[in-house]
Homo-oligomer: A and B are copies of this chain.
Amino acid sequence: MLLRSGILTSSEGEVVALENAMGASGVVIVCEHASSVLPKSAGDLGLSPEALSSHIAWDPGALAIARKVSEALDAVLVHQRFSRLIYDCNRPPESPAAMPEKSEIFEIPGNRALSVAERYARTAALYIPFHDRISAEISRLEAEGRKPVVVTMHTFTPVYFGKPREVEIGILHDTDSRLADAMLEAAQGGPYRVERNSPYGPEDGVTHTLRLHAIPQGFANVMIEVRNDLVRDAAGVEAISSYLADLISGALERVA
């Protein structure tokens, strides 16, 4: 059997999903943590149903926001169809967080002492195709004469290690803060509590996708984090998405 098929068989479908592929803008929306689905081979990784549906498996609501923002900006959306518990596509293979043995308060038995063959199969099956696809979409935009912009969409849990988080929307950046600066300025005095590099920042390794696809190339980029209690229903998703789409498009006019 192929090593990578030990993780994912072809009957489980592509790992990457593309939506609004004909989007006319230069923006690429990326959602690395869109899904809590585990490949069949993974079983339950030794986790409870609660853990498997919690924020350690995915970013609840992130895909819903990403879809609305993608529509509003007429931007292509690229999202991962499998859980970050198997491979966190916002981390390189050399990061312990790529296939974590622990996430927040949860031990992940199925990720303990992975063999090199298991690590290889997960990297080959989930990480490489995901970023190859983003890279291909960006290349296409360039070939079409558009100026690519990379926006990654995440949500975070309102309570982490028992502590409530006050921030509602985080605007995160790495070394290139152009788009983030413009968004943060426009967010002042607005309806949400919006903060820079919060609830974490580049020092936590969360800007991997930006470092791969935007920073070396000089493309404007930003990572957005929304507190997930704000997007638990359709009205919340609608409000946040509409707010973010306006924030991004306004900022892009000033940055571009």
Q: Which residues of A contact B (CB under 8 A)?
A: 1-4, 92-94, 115-117, 119-120, 123-124, 128, 131-132, 135-136, 139, 142, 208, 211-213, 215-216
Known pairs A115-B216, A117-B212, A128-B128 / 14 extra A-B pairs, C-beta < 8 Å: A2-B135, A2-B136, A2-B139, A3-B131, A3-B132, A3-B212, A92-B93, A116-B211, A117-B215, A120-B131, A123-B128, A124-B128, A124-B131, A124-B132
In the complex the two chains form, is B93's CB within 8 Å of A211's CB?
no
> Considering the chains assembled together, what is the distance between the CA atoms of A120 and B133 in angstroms?
13
Residues of B within 8 A of A213 (CB): 3, 117
The closest CB in chain B to the CB of A215 belongs to B117
Residues of B within 8 A of A3 (CB): 131-132, 135, 212-213
Each complex incorporates copies of this chain amounting to: 2
Q: Looking at the assembled complex, report how far the CB atom of A207 sits from the nearest CB atom of chain B, in whole angstroms.
A: 9
Residues of B within 8 A of A117 (CB): 211-213, 215-216
Which 9 residue pairs are nearest across A and B when measured between Cβ atoms?
A93-B93, A94-B94, A3-B135, A117-B216, A116-B211, A117-B212, A2-B135, A124-B128, A2-B139
Residues of B within 8 A of A123 (CB): 93, 123, 128
> Considering the chains assembled together, what is the distance between the CA atoms of A3 and B217 in angstroms?
10
What is the interface of chain A mostly: helix, strand, loop, or mixed?
A: helix
The closest CB in chain B to the CB of A96 belongs to B94
Of the candidates B94, B142, B208, B215, which one forms a contact with A93 in the assembled complex, judged by CB atoms under 8 Å apart? B94
On whether A116 and B212 interact (CB within 8 A), knowing A123-B93, A124-B128, the answer reads: yes
Of the candidates B116, B142, B208, which one forms a contact with A92 in the assembled complex, judged by CB atoms under 8 Å apart? B116
Residues of B within 8 A of A132 (CB): 2-4, 124
The closest CB in chain B to the CB of A91 belongs to B116
> Considering the chains assembled together, what is the distance between the CA atoms of A123 and B120 in angstroms?
11
Q: Looking at the assembled complex, report how far the CB atom of A11 sits from the nearest CB atom of chain B, in whole angstroms.
A: 16
Residues of B within 8 A of A211 (CB): 115-117
On whether A135 and B4 interact (CB within 8 A), knowing A92-B93, A119-B92, A216-B117, the answer reads: yes
Q: Looking at the assembled complex, report how far the CB atom of A95 sits from the nearest CB atom of chain B, in whole angstroms.
A: 8
The closest CB in chain B to the CB of A132 belongs to B124
The closest CB in chain B to the CB of A216 belongs to B117
The closest CB in chain B to the CB of A5 belongs to B139
- Listed A/B pairs (16) with beta-carbon separation below 8 Å: A1-B139, A2-B132, A3-B135, A3-B212, A4-B132, A4-B135, A92-B93, A93-B94, A116-B208, A116-B211, A116-B212, A117-B212, A117-B215, A120-B131, A124-B128, A128-B128
